[in-house]
Amino acid sequence: MAVDIRPARASDVDALDAIETAVFTTDRISRRSFRQLIERSTAETLLAEVDGRIAGYAMVLFRKGSGVARLYSIATAPDISGQGVGRCLLEAAEDTAFEHGRMMLRLEVREDNARAIRIYEASGYRSIGSEPDYYEDGATALRYEKVLRGDVPVKTSVPFYQQTCDFTCGPCCLMMAIGNFDRGFVPDPVREIRLWREATTIFMMSGPGGCEPFGLAVAAYEAGLSAEIRVSFHGALFLQSVRSAEKRRVMELAQADFRVRAKDYDIPVTYAPFVVDDIRAALADGKLVLVLISGFLMFGKKVPHWVLAIGDDGEHIMIHDPWVEDDRQETAADAANIPVPYAIFMNMAQFGKDALRAAIILGKREQP
Query: Would you list the DSSP string of 34-82?
Result: HHHHHH-TTEEEEEEEETTEEEEEEEEEE-TT-SEEEEEEEEE-GGGTT
**Angle, CA of 85, 86 and 88, to the nearest 5°:** 65
Rounded to the nearest integer, the mean pLDDT of the chain is 89
Query: What integer pLDDT is reported at residue 242 of this predicted model?
Result: 66
Alpha helix positions (H), 185-239: 189-199, 213-222
Backbone dihedral angles phi then psi of residue 66, each to the nearest 5 degrees: -110, 150
Residue scoring higher pLDDT (362 or 208): 362
CB 248 within 8 A of CB 239: yes
How far is 364 from 254, CA to CA, in rounded Å? 26
What percentage of the chain exceeds 70 in pLDDT?
93
Torsion, Cα of 343, 283, 216, 193 (10° steps): 100
CB 1 within 8 A of CB 85: yes
pLDDT mean over 210-234: 92
Residue 326 has pLDDT above 80, yes or no: no
CA 172 to chain centroid: 17
Range of 30-34, 127-131, 144-148 with top mean pLDDT? 30-34
Read off the pLDDT band of 351 (50, 70, 90): confident
Backbone dihedral angles phi then psi of residue 81, each to the nearest 5 degrees: -60, 140
Query: What integer pLDDT is reported at residue 295 of this predicted model?
Result: 75
Residue 79 has pLDDT above 90, yes or no: no
Backbone dihedral angles phi then psi of residue 311, each to the nearest 5 degrees: -165, 170
DSSP state of 228: E
Residue 302 has pLDDT above 80, yes or no: no
Residue 332 has pLDDT above 80, yes or no: no
Query: What integer pLDDT is reported at residue 249 of this predicted model?
Result: 83
pLDDT mean over 63-77: 87
pLDDT mean over 298-327: 85
Write the pLDDT tens digit of every residue in 101-142.
898 899 999 999 999 999 999 998 988 889 999 999 999 999
Query: What integer pLDDT is reported at residue 355 of this predicted model?
Result: 87
How far CA 361 is from CA of 181, 231, 284, 357, in Å, comes to: 13, 11, 12, 13
The H or E element that residue 98 is part of is helix 85-99
To 10 degrees, what angle do helices 189-199 and 213-222 make? Answer: 120
Read off the pLDDT band of 308 (50, 70, 90): very high
Taken as a whole, the chain contains a residue count of: 368
Amino acid at 367: Q
What is the widest separation between alpha-carbon atoms in the chain? 75
Read off the pLDDT band of 271 (50, 70, 90): very high
Backbone dihedral angles phi then psi of residue 248, each to the nearest 5 degrees: -60, -40
Residue 65 burial (10 A CB sphere; 0-12, 13-18, 19+): exposed
pLDDT mean over 324-350: 82
How far is 287 from 299, CA to CA, in rounded Å? 27
Query: What integer pLDDT is reported at residue 223 of this predicted model?
Result: 94
CB 58 within 8 A of CB 13: no
pTM for this one? 0.80
How far CA 321 is from CA of 159, 331, 333, in Å, comes to: 12, 11, 10
Query: What integer pLDDT is reported at residue 200 of this predicted model?
Result: 84
How far is 192 from 4, CA to CA, in rounded Å? 50
Query: What integer pLDDT is reported at residue 21 of this predicted model?
Result: 94
Query: What integer pLDDT is reported at residue 2 of this predicted model?
Result: 87
